[in-house]
Amino acid sequence: MFEHFSLAPPDSILGLNAAFEKDPRAQKLNLTVGVFKDDAGQTPILESVQLAQAKIFQQQKTKGYLPIEGGKDFIDQINRLVLGSEFDYGRVATAHTPGGTGALRVGADTLAKVLPAGRFWVSNPTWANHNAVFQAAGFEVLSYRYLNAAKTGLDFAGMLEQLSQQGRPGDVVCLHACCHNPTGIDPTLEQWREISDLLAKKKMLPFVDFAYQGFGDGLQEDAKPISILMRDHSELVICGSLSKNFGLYSERVGALMMISESPRSTDAVLSQIRSSIRCNYSNPPRHGEAIVATILSDAELAPKWRSEVDQMRSRIHSMRNALIQGMEARGKNFGFLADQKGMFSYTGLNPMQADWLMNQKGIYIVGTGRINVAGLTTSSMDRVCDAIAEACAV
Ligand code: LMR
């Protein structure tokens, strides 16, 4: 029967990454997948992570299974990091999931049990994997307007208009808490208040993808949209990723948080999360979880990690500014990038220009025009600016 399989298309992000690995050109540059790189073009293991690993190797006694939802230390720490210290943790059912993608899928699978034939709204554009994940969980996926016609800013009025006219009670709305992927364009806090208010009035459920905490304005600042949503919504889903802010990409550490109106529902919600996990990957991997829990509970490692997040954010910021200046020096106005936040910038380049950059210059960007700003380095900047300026004329 296997002869009936046809070839699936390559993934629009990880497929390009694989093509990059195979490219024999010495001058190639990878600006596709969202991975932080230092100015030498390496994805380092954070110092706080290295120290935590040394501690774990000394102290860890077992590789036995973890609880289905992950260990208590991790869950307590992650609740505090994302929800702040004032929150009533009795209302949240939290699970360690393999990466942010794991959180999205387990969250959607769990919601599907109470929302059969449910509808999931995603921004247009959104992270390339959102549609597939929510569809796989059985949802109909619809998209709401997000980008303005010039593709340089938020179409806030269009977003509100569409959700208000077409949204229905019980619809789920995927929102990016910060550092919108792929555009880097975030609503202001005032706009968040309006979004939150509209969804509450329409009885739509916010489902927050929080993959870049710390990469926008700061660890606490980036969680502000979640506080706004929590004020208006008694129920909320949050999918966090620790891949980026801890640099733990391949350790697969994420967290699903489902907040209920009252602690009375939490046990039932957690039991449903557990059953979604059990029939999928059974229970989570230990090592990455141990790293995160060790760092966040250690009086020396936690501040060290926070300052490493600050350093990553400021490097990305300086690369974005250098790109804007480099383009300006070549007579191109890319000033709109200054308002974008996080790892990605949406350059406005089209798929043909992206192909041209890959084929002619060995510079890999996603076909939507998204570049990983964190992949730029001081030494590659001129080459990239020259190539983009040339691509603009293609
Ligand atoms: C990205 O958008 O590049 C990252 O979230 C990595 C991925 O899995 O796509």
- Does the pLDDT of residue 150 top 90, yes or no? no
Q: How far is the CA of 33 from the centre of ligand 1 (A)?
A: 5
CB neighbours of 276 closer than 8 A, spacing ≥ 6? 106, 109, 110, 113
Q: How confident is the model at residue 269 (pLDDT cuts 50, 70, 90)?
A: very high
Buried/exposed 2-24: b ≥16 CB within 10 Å, e otherwise: eeeeeeeeeeebeebbeebeeee
* CATH 3.30.470.20 describes domain 65-297: no
Count of Cβ atoms closer than 10 Å to residue 362 Cβ: 18
CATH of span 11-45+303-392:
3.90.1150.10
Whole-angstrom CA distances from 87 to 13, 119, 185, 341 are 36, 29, 28, 27
Average pLDDT of the chain to the nearest whole number: 96
Percent of the chain residues topping a pLDDT of 70: 100
- Does the pLDDT of residue 151 top 90, yes or no? no
Report the pLDDT averaged over residues 300-311. Answer: 98
13 lines ligand 1 (CB under 6 A): yes
Residues with catalytic roles = 127, 209, 244
Q: How confident is the model at residue 12 (pLDDT cuts 50, 70, 90)?
A: confident
Instruction: Report the alpha-carbon distance of residue 256 to residue 16 in Å, rounded.
Output: 28
Instruction: Of 384, 88, 143, 29, give the one whose Cα is nearest residue 264.
Output: 88
Q: Are strands 205-210 and 236-241 parallel, antiparallel or unpaired?
A: parallel
Choose between 13 and 289: higher pLDDT. 289
Q: What is the pLDDT of residue 393?
A: 86
- Cα of first residue to Cα of last residue in the chain, in angstroms, is 45
Instruction: Report the alpha-carbon distance of residue 70 to residue 320 in Å, rounded.
Output: 37
343 lines ligand 1 (CB under 6 A): no
Instruction: Report the alpha-carbon distance of residue 33 to residue 182 in Å, rounded.
Output: 11
- Digit-coded pLDDT (tens) for 236-265: 999 999 999 999 999 999 999 999 999 999
**Is there a contact between 147 and 154 (Cβ–Cβ < 8 Å)?**
yes
| Sequence spans of domains, the chain | 11-45+303-392, 65-297
Q: How confident is the model at residue 291 (pLDDT cuts 50, 70, 90)?
A: very high
Protein residue with its CA nearest to atom 2 in ligand 1: 34
179 lines ligand 1 (CB under 6 A): no
Instruction: Report the alpha-carbon distance of residue 197 to residue 79 in Å, rounded.
Output: 24
Instruction: Of 131, 180, 127, 187, give the one whose Cα is nearest residue 160.
Output: 187
